[in-house]
Structure 1
Amino acid sequence: MDFNKPVESWNQTSVKEFVLTGFSVDPKNQTLLFVIGLLAYLLTLAGNLTIIALIWIDRCLQSPMYFFLGNLSFIEICYTSTTVPKMLWDLLSRDKTISLIGCALQMYFFVTLGGTECVLLSAMAYDRYAAICHPLSYILLLNQQVRRGLLAASWAIGTFNSIVNTVMVFSLHYCHSNKINHFFCDIPPLLRISCSDTFLSQLITFSISGCVIIMPFCLTLLSYILIVSSVLKIHTVHGKMKAFSTCASHLTVVSIFYGTIIYTYIRPSSAHSIEEDLQVSVLYAIITPMLNPLIYSFRNKEVQGALQRALRKGKS
């Protein structure tokens, strides 16, 4: 770091807008990617809105688990909407620029929603632990006040994480290049093109994001260790299968989400490959929000029943 450089220059940048290079420069590939991306986005909206609507109108889906699931679906809609519409526009347009403020806002909302989802998935793991290990006290352990408290904590932690990361990344100096090798404004590609010394930003980003990702992940893991320990004490095979089936959907979502997030953010910048980052980002920013409603609906008899009741009411 050049300490002889004027202090104010560290808070200035000659770049007023960025260019999101995206996936491909071949027009034919861009058209195909646009169609695939649009279909994925529409499926994400339709699936998550359906789950929210079912939870809202069906009395059988008023348990704590579905309170969290409805909020997860809402987060997924917002999460994918921060990146995919801009990506689709860029695939059809020659102008792939995004303003400095627009880039900062996109990162802020994306990181906020991602951090919130990390903590919320941990709260959902606690819900499964309470339901299986303490069924008689389930409603008491997850009463309305506790549920709202866990949801508020999820948003607070996600917002704090995002504020710190966004401030650190956009206090850097960008001068040599404004081309972001990504389809949205994310932390690793922006750190890569900064002409400032990014050591402090990487250290803070790694530490804060690491805590927000790893701590909920460890709590989720602990919940499932206790769940497995409790289920193994059940004497009948049918009882064990029934207990595990209530966790299968959540465990699938957790594995996909945490796996891709940890791979992306809990690595030093030097370990990042542009192609790998793009592929993994597609998983957690586009594919996972689309798959979540399918995972929960296909593996959940209560959601299937609520959907069938809603369809019968619609026909009558």
Structure 2
Amino acid sequence: MASREIYDTGFDESSGRTIAADTCPECSGRLETECGEIACQDCGVVVESCRLDRRRPRLFADDETSKARTGAPLTEARHDRGLSTEIGYKRDANGNTLSSKKQRQLGRLRREHGRARWRSKAERNLATGLVEIGRLSGDLELAQSLREQASSLFRTAQDNDLLVGRSIESIAAASVYATCRLNGTTRTLAEVAAVASVNVDRVENGYRTLNAELELPVPPQSPVAFLPSLAAEFELPARVEQRAREFAVRAHDEGLSSGTHPAGFAAACLAVAASSMADPPSQLALADAADVSTATIRNHRDRLTAFLAADE
């Protein structure tokens, strides 16, 4: 499209904006505004459209307006969504050192602020759970967006009284695991329980409670999703991982992997794909990496081998 030129302007009541004249700069056709977009009715060229301006406020050198922003955005990862007050220690907002008298006064204010921080026991439990979710997300190297979703899920569980009779740590770990399942992030139940403050049985019980009571739209896990992490752990060649992926896809299409442990079946696919190597990983090592028994690896391997032989 040709570069925009400046034309006579007028006010458009439908969009509440000042726009160019009602003739198209390309074909002199008629311009009309629809859904905040100004376009020519003849040639279809878009002259101007309404967009959200997310830039900083425009400031000039002689403008005395404060350049400070309005603060950090709201977050679900904190019990007050990031609106709490933080009291400093030795320096003020300008970086100047405070006097000893002022520091003692701030210390007393900090103590009273900490005592009045929680409006109820439920809010204190919420803060405890969100801190636990933040710790688990850091240990599992999850993205900030997943932490936000897990925190929101924990809030929903508390609002539905799912914490009654259950520990905060188990529901927090279950929220992290459920968020990973909902977003297709490959974190097994054992991996979450390994960094959690409770054992795997309590994490599994919390996840089942969330899944049943909140009716989470959790998709079934595919063995293909676990292949990259397992192959990287044993430093297998790319051709072995590719062959294992082909086996897993074919088995999944035929329903062979239905009802199986996805990580265990992925480990069995790697075992079959790496069988031609000079030094393939042992069944015990694959079982430990997938958190299953060696019998599971052996049974899946035998079924997969028979399926591939019959399919050929």
Instruction: State the TM-score bracket (shorter-chain normalisation).
Output: under 0.3
Give the structure-2-normalised TM-score: 0.24
Greater relative contact order (CA < 8 Å, ≥ 6 in sequence): 1
Give the structure-1-normalised TM-score: 0.24
